């Protein structure tokens, strides 16, 4: 059987690594009172370009759509919850941007942490519930189609080196 979710789980690992660094940075910022705008600008760029623009786009536009076409092979429909969480993540990013514009470091920390905790639990649900459901619901032909469509999604302008720079500053 073909597998079309391992690649997404691998992307989760990259997102989780960045999240760990962000949470650490929030703790540091709270303790020292130092405000590292450059770091958070890079984080927002990473989220918009990679986590949302690349990874969530593959889920929303390709995998979730394919799953919805196979609803009769699924015992429930967790996709609306997943979409809602993607939207909630975008709200946190907006909150981070607004806090940065007004130099509100407390608001920035709050929204950044909100995003991180949301994504950690979201990723856990996808890795353990949603993706196994997708693997069961789609047949090999549909998986081939999904794979083809994946390759058409733009990788975004956030390069691998940029991600490395965030994880290993
Ligand atoms: Fe997702
Ligand atoms: Fe995901």
> What is the tens place of the pLDDT at every residue in 47-79?
999 999 999 999 999 999 999 999 888 888 999
Tokens of 119: 């994504």
Question: For residue 148, how many other CB atoms are within 10 A of its CB?
Answer: 10
Q: How far is the CA of 98 from the centre of ligand 1 (A)?
A: 24
Query: How far is ligand 2, taken at its centre, from the CA of residue 99, in Å?
Result: 26
Query: 40 with 110: CB under 8 angstroms?
Result: no
In percent, the amount of the chain with pLDDT more than 70 equals: 97
Q: Kindly identify the ligand whose nearest atom is closest to the C-alpha of 12.
A: 2
Which CATH architecture is the domain 6-167 placed in?
A: Up-down Bundle (1.20)
C-alpha separations of 1 from 4, 117, 135, 139, 143 in Å: 10, 33, 9, 8, 9
Ligand 1 midpoint to CA 107 (Å): 24
- Nearest bound ligand to the CA of residue 127: 2
pLDDT at 58: 96
Q: For position 35, what pLDDT does the model report?
A: 84
pTM (two decimals): 0.94
What's the pLDDT band for 156 if we cut at 50, 70, 90? low
Average pLDDT over residues 96-124: 97
CA dist 46 and 22 (Å) reads: 12
pLDDT score, position 74: 84
Sequence-distant (≥ 6) Cβ neighbours of residue 159 within 8 angstroms? none
CA of 64, nearest ligand number: 1
Position 69 scores a pLDDT of: 93
Domain range list for the chain: 6-167
């Amino acid at each position: 059987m073909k597998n079309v979710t391992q690649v997404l789980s691998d992307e989760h690992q990259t997102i989780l690594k960045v999240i760990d660094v962000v949470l650490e940075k929030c703790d540091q910022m709270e303790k020292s009172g130092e405000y590292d705008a450059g770091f958070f600008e890079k984080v927002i760029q990473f989220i918009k370009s990679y986590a949302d623009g690349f990874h969530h786009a593959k889920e929303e536009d390709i995998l979730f759509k394919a799953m919805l076409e196979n609803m009769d092979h699924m015992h429930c429909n967790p996709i609306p919850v997943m979409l809602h969480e993607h939207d909630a993540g975008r709200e946190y990013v907006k909150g981070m941007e607004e806090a940065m514009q007004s130099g509100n470091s407390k608001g920035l920390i709050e929204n950044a942490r909100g995003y991180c905790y949301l994504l950690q639990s979201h990723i856990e649900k996808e890795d353990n519930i949603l993706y196994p459901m997708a693997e069961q619901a789609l047949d090999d032909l549909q998986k081939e189609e999904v794979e083809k469509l994946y390759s058409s999604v733009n990788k975004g302008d956030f390069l691998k080196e940029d991600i490395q720079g965030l994880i290993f500053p």
